[in-house]
Structure 1
Amino acid sequence: MGTGTLHIDLNALVDNWQVLDRQSATETGAVVKADGYGLGAGRVAKALAGAGVRTFFVAAVEEATALRATLGQDPVIYVFSGHMDGDTQTLSDLGAVPLLNSPEQVSRHQARLPDHPFGLQIDTGMNRLGIETYDWSPEMSQDASLVMSHLACADEPDHQGNKDQLKAFLDMTAGLLAPRSLAATGGILLGPEYHFDMTRPGIGLFGGLPFEGAKAVARLDLPVIQTRTVKAGEAVGYAKAFIADKPHTIATVAGGYADGLIRALSGNATLYAGETPCPLIGRVSMDLITVDVTHLDTVPDHLTILGPQQSVDTLADAAGTIGYEILTSLGHRYKRSYS
């Protein structure tokens, strides 16, 4: 096989949701945007629905289409981008619920789908999506199924921004009858005062920080295509970025930046032969990486870059990025295996 195998542990995914669900006394939904953080929204959502999830969140209405086909009509599907121009028919057909982000979206929804459910997103300090304080009126929430906001610094528990946004959210939603939601994964871990009526974990379900107790969900094994001996003074890969100081055994492995192994991993990442670390040397190219396996007695038929030995966040650290980017960049050439 010339491409890697991405193993997705649905039992670990469900376990992560259950642990986060037990953190609060409220309903726990699930964020499955970006194709289930790169792991397949349909399979991920089906497993979560089987565990009891009844409310899902996606980024755009287009993402709701596959989800509804998989889950049927019962679960609620919220759309973070709200009611965009051109979304009306799809929202109606799917029964998806837009989270309206501006007075313009509120007006559009009232005019085009007056009897269709909706939620509201308000801005409490992130300045990204949401109705601003100066545009907000509590009357907007009449008949809303959810009023939500999003924390900017929840992955830093001691950041003052968390308390500031909590206060802003409390002030803007005081007296509302509609259910409220503020906490994603990081917000859940901040404690009960952030939980309100619904929490909506995302990255924590898939094994990423800031949920340090999360089980690994993704394992990525990459096949070894070829091995060779490189003499002292010889170079490996583009721009001769690695020059051997002594003889090395080099494995050429299927996987590159076209598969989500971003170029910033060049010379920084580690792969594993069982429990034995093997450094990536030279540059990551489009389809291939080169790995030093000199110290192995036997070169295996594959090396592991994500798994029990190395989390998405550890790999992300090697690239100077975050686990979210690693997961959502995983390419479509991998064979996917679900268990």
Structure 2
Amino acid sequence: MSGNIVSVTDPNPRAGAILTVDLGAVVANWTQLRDRVAPAECSAVVKADAYGLGVPRIVPALAAAGCRTFVVAQLEEALAVRRALEPVAPDAQIFSLGGLPAGCAGDFLANRILPVLNHLGEIAAWRDVAASRGEVLPAVIHIDTGMNRLGLGPDELDALAAHPEWLEGIDVRYWMTHLACADEFDQPMTAEQRDRFRAALARLPKAKASFANSSGIFHGKDHHFDLARPGCALYGVNPTPHLANPMRDTVRLDARLLQVRHCAPPMTVGYGAAHRLTGPARIATIGVGYADGYMRSLGGKGHIIVDGVAAPIVGRISMDLITIDVTGLPESAAQPGRLVELIGPHRPVDQVAAEGGTIGYEILTSLGRRYHRIYLGG
């Protein structure tokens, strides 16, 4: 289903590259997932500045489309999301997955942010805050079902199930867990985590439950529970790697050719003389590097699209520059000032990630701040 973001005219000749974000595609991805999980609710994970695409633009677009639950990793992120929501959906709820930092209870309360309580100490601290205010305070409680990172471990779960009074003063809005292997559809652990989660819920006071991430949604209705928490799929990363991508592309990255030069053996290209010429060549240099999120590991592996043709990256990617071999292209196709495609319809983010030995999440969240950004739709 992956849809193309059309190339843009050059709006800022001062910029080395242009990052185009299709807000309409992000909204369409959320809407598709919302419909898939209905009647469960569909939230939006917008941590890491909405996976690098920009909370101030992504969050209002999703809120305008009807999203009313947003998920982040840290309190500072939650505060930024609350600011973005105020003009559009001040009633929306925000989960902060990183727990309850000491001394920060007032920030959660003043900004209507739900702490995700990850261990008994945080539950006790939130209970004490509630008691001191004479109020019942909302929270989400995380149950670990196999990740062994955050959440109540088996011993803490046993203790809480035996002492439900420890939740006095806490309005548990959701019990949640986090999936370890949901994008590996032949991996039995997702079903095992679902069963552990169900068993835990049966022992605890009744509340809504949140289970599925982006890939978890595609495991079927019995994985949806009450609230799904998609992240990467909203931004165009394939949640079903064993199948064609059902999501729309959301980003396109075009960068400027700075220089094209004729070279010949025994010349080398770039740092460490990592690429040695074996014949006459034309080498083009692009004004993007690892400081802009185009990973150093793509050096000597990836490709850049020049006039619809894949030109190999040669030599190392440096902080600010990429070198490509355009020997096989007409000279008119590779001229200084021309925009070429680094991510886009010919170079989906998952393909770029695979060539760099990583995942689409890392590519998106690493996109730098030097790009001229264009937002379409939304």
Matches within 5 A, 1:68-217: 68-72=82-86, 73-114=90-131, 115=135, 116-136=137-157, 137-138=160-161, 139=164, 143-174=171-202, 176-211=205-240, 212-217=245-250
Partner of 1:22: 35
Helix, strand or coil for the counterpart of 2:345? coil
Distance 1:42 1:130 in 2: 30
Distance 2:274 2:185 in 1: 40
Distance 1:92 1:3 in 2: 43
Output the amino acid matched with 1:56: F
- Asked if residue 238 in structure 1 is aligned to residue 271 in structure 2, the reply is yes
Distance 1:334 1:173 in 2: 46
TM-score by length of 2: 0.87
Root-mean-square deviation (CA), in Å?
Answer: 1.4
Distance 2:105 2:294 in 1: 37
Q: Deviation string for 1:251-272 (max 9, x for gaps)?
A: 1101111111121111011111
Give 1:213 shift.
1.0
Q: Deviation string for 1:281-312 (max 9, x for gaps)?
A: 10000111101112222215111111111111
Of the candidates 69, 73, 88, which is equivalent to residue 55 of structure 1?
69
Checking the alignment, whether the CA contact within 8 Å between 2:264 and 2:280 is kept in structure 1 is: yes
- Asked if residue 7 in structure 1 is aligned to residue 20 in structure 2, the reply is yes
Distance 1:274 1:134 in 2: 60
Output the amino acid matched with 1:101: N
Partner of 1:324: 361
TM-score by length of 1: 0.97
Helix, strand or coil for the counterpart of 1:117? strand
Distance 2:57 2:308 in 1: 29
- Asked if residue 40 in structure 1 is aligned to residue 54 in structure 2, the reply is yes
Taking structure 1 as reference, are residues 268 and 113 closer, same or farther at Cα in structure 2, changes over 3 Å only?
farther
Give 1:335 shift.
1.3
Distance 2:172 2:326 in 1: 58
Helix, strand or coil for the counterpart of 1:338? strand
Distance 2:237 2:247 in 1: 7
Give 1:86 shift.
3.2
Give 1:113 shift.
4.3
Distance 2:239 2:104 in 1: 33
Checking the alignment, whether the CA contact within 8 Å between 1:232 and 1:247 is kept in structure 2 is: yes
Size of the aligned set, in residue pairs, is 339
Give 1:336 shift.
1.1
Distance 2:311 2:91 in 1: 48
Partner of 1:294: 327
Deviates more, 1:84-93 or 1:142-151: 84-93
Helix, strand or coil for the counterpart of 1:5? strand
Distance 1:314 1:225 in 2: 25
Checking the alignment, whether the CA contact within 8 Å between 1:100 and 1:121 is kept in structure 2 is: yes
Distance 1:192 1:322 in 2: 26
Give 1:280 shift.
0.7
- Asked if residue 258 in structure 1 is aligned to residue 291 in structure 2, the reply is yes
Helix, strand or coil for the counterpart of 2:37? coil
Distance 2:112 2:34 in 1: 25
Give 1:85 shift.
1.1
Taking structure 1 as reference, are residues 226 and 2 closer, same or farther at Cα in structure 2, changes over 3 Å only?
farther
Q: Which runs of 5+ in 2 are unaligned?
A: 1-13
Checking the alignment, whether the CA contact within 8 Å between 1:133 and 1:172 is kept in structure 2 is: no
Checking the alignment, whether the CA contact within 8 Å between 1:88 and 1:113 is kept in structure 2 is: no
Output the amino acid matched with 1:191: G
Distance 2:268 2:186 in 1: 47
Partner of 1:224: 257
Helix, strand or coil for the counterpart of 1:144? strand
Distance 1:263 1:4 in 2: 17
Distance 1:274 1:58 in 2: 39
Checking the alignment, whether the CA contact within 8 Å between 1:208 and 1:323 is kept in structure 2 is: yes
Helix, strand or coil for the counterpart of 1:281? coil
Q: Deviation string for 1:150-198 (max 9, x for gaps)?
A: 1100001121111111110000001642110110101101111110001
